[in-house]
């Protein structure tokens, strides 16, 4: 067995993302494990679709096992993103190699820059550039140039930077995982125009969000999963997300901002002032941005505010390994990990949160993030009939509706809304849930009614659908 790992956001999974999978197979990999970001990504925003759909597409496209990159690392800097991913792979205890794409495609060059970043001479080389007021990334590149020469230019490309951080993290962990890089193909990370062969994920997101068909640029499984997420109302509603996002930021104090990750040098004052006047996220970023604070850094800070992510978590070790999905070959990887993994390993977040204080904190953050993805609101219509599908007799109907109302009030969350819709119907508005979780709520209500009222001869007919936030037309 030869297990190769890939670190990914797959936001969305496109044809260019399959190149490392194919290269790993060509290098002799028999099994592939991926570490995947959850519902939020490093850009500081919700993923195009929830992790369930991206993981399912990956498992149908050559990946065997998908583990989650916990939230604090997924929305952090390249250093902490890579550190969390490499620590997770090392803790699994079943990975032989790591493959990643980079703009340069040369492992030796990336290793030389990684060594320079860990050199004891770096702090002295870095100081004068920071004193000039350069952003940290530019100051660091200039410092590495003074130590290394032209290879410092590798720090100007995002995939090179991530690759360098993977190498640093593996060395610091003392891991035996063998790294391999391949040249990244297709459009550059933020290119305005599509490449003739592969569009970037940024381009595809922009096209999708403006209503264009991107299915030809995606593996069939991702195109299918993206359409399924759309049909189920599982795609984040970005207009709703932005309104909630700005409202949350306006309610924060300067002290709240100061406690966020990566907030230094008075940034909390700029963010506080900008949040009071900005009408859009972009306007807020423009008002808060300085030469030292890039849009990417600010986006991550603001997302941390929305998700109530405290400072320092991304520097901690992962507290668990969460399985998002696997194939039959993925089960073989998990079997290999038995007796080797050094962190709790499970597909159940509820189970993992019992593993200790740190695990409970991380699990609570994941649960909170799942509630704040800006996903569709769902409407659940519950209709009561007799066993023949007809309107029950008035006495039976009134008794049944009273008992159903009690079940609803004891089964829903505080932010859910329930109302009598007609003589035989209740309507429930479920917010901040995926389609799958809404089905779970539906089943919980029906199960409770059946358990508590086994002798009542009625049937409850559920109908669940997403509610379009800009549509006021009756759809039932």
* Pairwise CA distance, residues 75 & 12, whole Å: 16
Q: What is the mean pLDDT of residues 175-191?
A: 81
In this predicted structure, what is the pLDDT of residue 231? 85
> SS3 for the chain, per residue?
CCEEEEEECCCCCCHHHHHHHHHHHHCCCCEEEEEEECCEECCCEECCCCHHHHHHHHHCCCCCEEEEECHHHHCCCHHHHHHHHHHHHHHHCCCCEEEEEECCCCHHHHHHHHHHHCCCCHHHHHHHHHHCCCCHHHHHHHHHHHHHCHHHHHHHCHHHHHHHHHHHHHHHHCCCCEEEEEECCCCCCCCCCCCCCCCCHHHHHHHHHCCCCCHHHCCHHHHHHHHHHHHCCCCCCHHHHHHHHHHHHHCCCHHHHHCCCCCCCCHHHHHHHHHHHCCCHHHHHHHHCCCCCCHHHHHHHHHHHHCCCCCCHHHCCCCCEEEEEECHHHHHHHHHHCCCCCCCEECCHHHHHHHCHHHHHHHHHHHHHHHCCCCCEEEEEEEEEECCCCCCCHHHHHHHHHHHHHHHHHHCCCCCEEEEEECCEEEEEECCCCHHHHHHHHHHHHHHHHHHCCCCCEEEEEEEEEECCCCCCCCC
* Pairwise CA distance, residues 235 & 227, whole Å: 10
In this predicted structure, what is the pLDDT of residue 318? 97
End-to-end CA distance of the chain: 53
pLDDT in tens, 242-293: 888 888 899 899 999 999 988 888 899 999 999 999 999 999 999 998 777 8
Who's near 113: CB < 8 A, 6+ residues apart?
Answer: 144, 148, 151, 152, 154, 155, 160, 164
**Is 329:96 a contact under the CB 8 Å cutoff?**
no
* Pairwise CA distance, residues 130 & 133, whole Å: 5
* Pairwise CA distance, residues 199 & 188, whole Å: 8
Structure tokens at 188: 């550059």
Q: What is the mean pLDDT of the chain?
A: 90
* Pairwise CA distance, residues 365 & 433, whole Å: 16
pLDDT in tens, 280-304: 999 999 999 877 788 888 999 999 9
**Is 31:329 a contact under the CB 8 Å cutoff?**
yes
Between 214 and 190, residue with greater pLDDT = 214
Q: Is the peptide bond before 104 cis (omega within 30 degrees of 0)?
A: no
* Pairwise CA distance, residues 327 & 339, whole Å: 20
Of 81-85, 204-208, 435-439, 468-472, the least confident = 468-472
**Is 113:196 a contact under the CB 8 Å cutoff?**
no
> Which of 182, 122, 176 has the alpha carbon at shortest distance from 152?
122
Pairing mode of beta strands 40-41, 321-326 = unpaired
pLDDT in tens, 420-463: 889 999 998 886 666 777 888 999 999 999 999 999 999 999 99
* Pairwise CA distance, residues 293 & 278, whole Å: 18
Within a 10 A sphere around the Cβ of 147, how many other Cβ atoms?
19
In this predicted structure, what is the pLDDT of residue 415? 61
Residue 158 has pLDDT above 70, yes or no: yes
Q: Place 413 in a pLDDT band, splitting at 50, 70 and 90.
A: confident
Q: Which residue shows structure tokens 């998002």? A: 324
* Pairwise CA distance, residues 440 & 425, whole Å: 20
* Pairwise CA distance, residues 300 & 239, whole Å: 19
In this predicted structure, what is the pLDDT of residue 468? 46
Pairing mode of beta strands 97-102, 178-183 = parallel
* Pairwise CA distance, residues 403 & 448, whole Å: 10
Structure tokens at 121: 């001479």
* Pairwise CA distance, residues 435 & 192, whole Å: 34
């Amino acid at each position: 067995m030869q297990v190769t790992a890939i670190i990914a956001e797959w936001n969305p999974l496109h044809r260019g993302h399959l190149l490392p999978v194919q290269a790993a197979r060509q290098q002799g990999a028999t099994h592939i494990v991926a570490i995947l970001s959850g519902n939020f990504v490093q850009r500081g925003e919700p993923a195009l679709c929830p992790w369930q759909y991206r993981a399912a597409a990956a498992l149908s496209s050559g990946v065997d096992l998908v583990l989650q990159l916990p939230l604090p690392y997924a929305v952090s800097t390249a250093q902490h993103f890579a550190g969390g991913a490499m620590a997770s792979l090392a803790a699994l205890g079943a990975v032989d190699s790591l493959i990643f794409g980079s703009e340069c495609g040369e492992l030796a060059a990336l290793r030389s820059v990684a060594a320079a970043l860990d050199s004891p001479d770096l702090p002295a080389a870095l100081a004068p550039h920071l004193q000039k007021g350069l952003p940290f990334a530019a100051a660091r590149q200039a410092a590495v140039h003074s130590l290394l020469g032209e290879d410092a230019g590798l720090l100007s490309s995002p995939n090179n930077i991530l690759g360098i951080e993977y190498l640093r993290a593996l060395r610091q962990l003392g891991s035996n995982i063998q790294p391999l890089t391949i040249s990244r193909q297709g459009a550059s990370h933020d290119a305005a125009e599509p490449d003739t062969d592969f569009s970037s994920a940024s381009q595809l997101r922009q096209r999708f969000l403006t209503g264009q068909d991107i299915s030809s640029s995606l593996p069939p499984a991702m195109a299918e999963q993206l359409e399924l997420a759309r049909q189920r109302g599982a795609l984040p509603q970005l207009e709703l997300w932005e309104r909630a996002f700005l409202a949350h930021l306006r309610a924060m104090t300067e002290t709240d901002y100061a406690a966020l990750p990566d907030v230094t040098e008075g940034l909390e004052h700029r963010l506080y002032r900008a949040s009071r006047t900005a009408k859009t996220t972009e306007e807020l970023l423009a008002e808060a941005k300085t030469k030292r604070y890039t849009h990417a850094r600010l986006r991550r800070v603001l997302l941390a505010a929305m998700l109530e992510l405290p400072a320092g978590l991304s520097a901690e070790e992962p507290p668990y390994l969460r399985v998002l999905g696997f194939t039959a070959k993925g089960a073989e990887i998990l079997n290999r990990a038995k007796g080797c993994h050094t962190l709790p390993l499970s597909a159940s977040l509820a189970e993992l949160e019992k593993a200790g204080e740190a695990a409970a904190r991380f699990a609570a953050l994941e649960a909170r993030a799942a509630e704040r993805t800006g996903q569709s609101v769902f409407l659940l219509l519950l209709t009561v009939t007799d066993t023949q599908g007809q309107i029950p007799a008035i006495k039976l109907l009134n008794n049944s509706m009273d008992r159903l109302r009690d079940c609803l009030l004891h089964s829903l969350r505080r932010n859910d809304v329930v109302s009598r819709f007609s003589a035989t119907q209740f309507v429930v508005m479920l917010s901040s849930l995926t389609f799958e979780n809404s089905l779970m709520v539906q089943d919980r209500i029906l199960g409770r009614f059946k358990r508590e009222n086994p002798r009542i001869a009625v049937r409850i007919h559920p109908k669940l659908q997403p509610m379009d936030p800009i549509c006021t037309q009756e759809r039932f």
